[in-house]
């Protein structure tokens, strides 16, 4: 069965610090990878996605992620965080079967990011 593991439950940073959130998945087939963010009181929003091609993907608000196939990892990065980045971040995976993705996302446990001004 697919599983997704996020390394940190809670990360606390000061503004302007760099961020890296780890995500590893276990599945041997072809997968699609996502990072979603949930700001306080808001719904889940897509930060970035990887389907194929360049393993370094850029998302909204200055976030990027790198897919390393050999390590089954898809880590999220941001060079300089802001107070407004305080939120919960979820890594997610779904199966890419025969070129068609199915609507079953497997999520990691989530990482709460707190950024102090």
Partner 1 sequence: KAGVTQTPRYLIKTRGQQVTLSCSPISGHRSVSWYQQTPGQGLQFLFEYFSETQRNKGNFPGRFSGRQFSNSRSEMNVSTLELGDSALYLCASSEEIAKNIQYFGAGTRLSVL
CB of 83 to partner 1, least distance (A): 23
The residue (of 42 and 117) whose beta carbon lies closer to partner 1 is: 42
Query: Strand 19-21 relative to strand 45-50: parallel, antiparallel, unpaired?
Result: unpaired
The residue (of 52 and 70) whose beta carbon lies closer to partner 1 is: 52
Q: What values do phi and psi take at 62, rounded to 5?
A: 80, 5
Q: Are 113 and 60 in contact (CB under 8 A)?
A: no
Q: Are 4 and 105 in contact (CB under 8 A)?
A: no
CB of 82 to partner 1, least distance (A): 23
The residue (of 2 and 17) whose beta carbon lies closer to partner 1 is: 2
Q: Which of 37, 92, 41, 40 is nearest to 62 (CA)?
A: 37
CB of 96 to partner 1, least distance (A): 8
* Residues contributing to the site for partner 1 (CB under 8 A): 32, 34, 36, 42-46, 49, 51, 90, 92, 99-110
């Amino acid at each position: 069965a697919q599983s997704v593991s996020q390394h940190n439950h809670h990360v606390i940073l000061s503004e302007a610090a760099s961020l890296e959130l780890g995500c590893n998945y276990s599945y041997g087939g072809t997968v699609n990878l996502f990072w979603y963010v949930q700001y306080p009181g808001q719904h889940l929003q897509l930060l970035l996605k990887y389907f194929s091609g360049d393993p370094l993907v850029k998302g909204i608000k200055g976030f990027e992620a790198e897919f390393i196939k050999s390590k089954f990892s898809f880590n999220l990065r941001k060079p300089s965080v802001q107070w407004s980045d305080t939120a919960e971040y979820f890594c997610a995976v779904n199966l890419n079967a025969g070129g068609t993705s199915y609507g079953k996302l497997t999520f990691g446990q989530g990482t709460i990011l707190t950024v102090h001004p």
